[in-house]
Structure 1
Amino acid sequence: MRNQYLTSRGDICYEFVLYKTRTQAQADRECAVNGGNLVTVKDKRVEDFIGDMLHKLRYNGRVWIGLNDIATEGEYHWSTGKKATYLNWAPHEPTLFLSTIEDCVILDVKKHMQWFDTPCHLRQYEYICEYSIEQDVSRCPADLIRNQYLTARGDICYEFVLHQTKIHTHAEQECAVNGGNLVTVKDKSVEDFIGDMLHKFRYNERVWIGLNDIITEGEYHWSTGEKATYFNWAPHEPTMFLSTFEDCVILDVKKDMQWLDTPCLIGFHHYICEYREYPLVTHLCH
């Protein structure tokens, strides 16, 4: 079913099942029908994304998430089997006096997205499924190295060039060799995807993106020629007093993924290339 309840972020497809209720076990089984599981809220960024989606869908109830301590009391794991490292319990949760029967977890939108432990089989709630998206890089340019730094999202292949640094012009030229360009961060969802990938690589430096005002001062376009409509400037950026020669842009991971304008020909940075029209195939979100 393709509708407003189905969306993707990074390499995960999310299904917001807000039109029926199930017990936790039933919900997890329904997710498993399509090869998924109840959602893993691995960190604050995922939680914020889920919160944004639920707000968009005008939902303010409670949903099952994949967290539970069914296997061992007090040791919380996700439905995938992965041990939980991020937790957002409501005050006085999990409740110790009912701990032996409250083995599953709900997320309460009204209570600031906080979590409550609850019995797995007594109550029914809406739920969120997640599915891993197969990253099909077979249709990325043939000369690109197939490794963890090459991935696909939608109809774009992304190459994270974190093993060498270039000035902006040379980075753009390297992308162009295989028919690409420096990355277009057209909206928050793309930025979140890039942030997730860089976090996965444990990378916390600066990368070139395709934004620049080389042609007309103060008019920012992407390397594709498309006019920019989304920005995530750091405070006091772009710098006005150096604007005539700071025509290119870097994304600073340490500064919450914010952007800084900088000279195109002076700084050496890693970079991200994108290659268009190489579709990604998945069973649910495509």
Structure 2
Amino acid sequence: MQMRTFILLASLLLLTSVGHAQSGWIYNPVTKHWYQLAPASSWQDAENYAQSLNGHLVSIEDMHEDRWLYNNFGVLGAFWTGFNDIAYESRWVWSSGDFITHTNWAPNQPDNTTNEDACVMLGPNAPYPSEWADLDIDTHFPGVVEINFHPDHLLDADGDGISNWDEDNLWGTDPRDQDSDDDGLSDGQELMSPHPSWINNPINNNWYRLSRPGTWEQAQAEAISVGGQLATIRSQAENNWLMIYIYQPSCDLHSELNGPWIGLHDHRIENSFEWISGEALSFTNWRPGEPNAFGGDEDFVHLTAVGEWNDLGYSILCGDRLPGIIELLNTPPVLGTDPLNADSDGDQILDGTEVGITTGWPGDPANGIGGTDLSIFVPDADPDTLTNPLDFDSDDDGYGDGSEDVNFNGRADSGELDASRGDSDGDGIQDGTENGLVQPSMGTDLSVFVPDNDPSTRTNPLDVDSDGGGLNDGMEDLDRNGLLDPLETDPLDHADDRFLLEMDPPITLTPGDFATFEVFGARSFAGAAILYSLTGTGPTQTDFGLTMDLSVPIVPYIAIYASGLGYASHTFVVPLGAPSGLSVYFQAIEFEFWVVRRLSNPLARLIM
């Protein structure tokens, strides 16, 4: 039996060595399928080639198709079919998954000799022309590819990822122009590819992008809305990748504690951190001294500027204005912009400019293939910041993107609001709220937008401290609604940005004598933490977002509490061991329920 197989194979190889030219597609009017002869290769390579054309090696359902295939392809020589028993010996199946309704084995076939796991239709010079034989899958034969659609669907003259047929008949785009609307995105990118803000991580094959700025829970809600979760970090390699490709500094209140949220939290059980995805916590990268649950209100974790982890609460620093890192386990949805409209959302910024495209498509003029018209396309001048080409108001601050990016170049230039960030100056108040907007533009998400409750007063959306008094606008307008509410300071009056700290005696302190601190103008019943330094007047940026007029090390002394009128005092004895000639510098921090509000003026006293 093996000798018969050897003779059969030898005759087939002799015929194959003459070579076959790859034929074009041929239509079978009975099956209504199309067929093509693929180049000679192993069976698996032939099947892979067929699958790359969205087909399979041919399945033969009846004698009519059998005869038709032989007359059109078999007369040229033997060819691979999709019939095989690779998975289970002697259990033959079609690679397409079609039911077996017809076979045409040659005598003594299949003989199931070792590795003879795929079926060929024999050519005219074989002992049994047109019949089937099982042969070694590594032998090289042409294969007949079968597809159930017109092969024009496979032709893509301009290389934009969409077939000529689909461009002509489905989309109305130009099959010989890579970028029909000249917005910098190819027709295929607009219709077939994910939004460019999604980045694939080759370490785990997951996809990532940033959410809009906000609280941890707002970022998680956005992640769920697109089918993901806030990111789980499983290794130092993943942590490093996120810092390189995803991290962006997102808040001006602190130079280090300003990075995006991740999916770690202890919101359910204090000090029992868990991933929102439910995965086990097998890797951590905490900042030294963290997590510390400062003020009892730090339940959520974000990345620092150096890639370490810090726990943070909404009322601390940037806790209500950070984006989150969204992680998808599957391929993201397609971009879905209009390939025939360069500005799909009508905000006056081209789609490509909104998604970070800096260079258009070159085309192939020598072969009549058009590319991006550079007289129309506007390259994104800041591709690190993206807006949504399908959202008139990407950041939901009440202004359309084109009303903020007034020169439509994708960058927040001097004097422009940031269309990618609802709070351009990072003070915690939306741009529209600061500018007196009551009615937002079309496309604004009303669940995000905060209308100005007092449009007669306006702060500067490009100045974190509109009155220059040292306290950010968002720390004065505590509910960030544009209205001066009770217990708030006025972001347009610098005089109330600090409360008053006084000390008696006024110039020097004598060891063993009494001294008294007094606090004036604090919030009703607020605490005042008095701290001191022996090294100087700073400045020192703190973890709670204020810059103190004390040099490190800064030492806490005592916390006192104001009356309903905002007054507090504390009398103490100057320590007998205090060294003569030393200057001591004091400053107080106002806090409510462990939320830091503002600073006092600094004081200095000389030890006698």
Please indicate the TM-score interval, normalised by the length of the shorter structure.
Answer: 0.3 to 0.5
TM-score normalised according to structure 2 size:
0.20
How does the TM-score come out when normalised to structure 1? 0.41
- Flag the structure with more relative contact order, 1 or 2, with Cα contacts below 8 A and sequence separation at least 6: 1
Structure having the larger proportion of residues in strand: 1
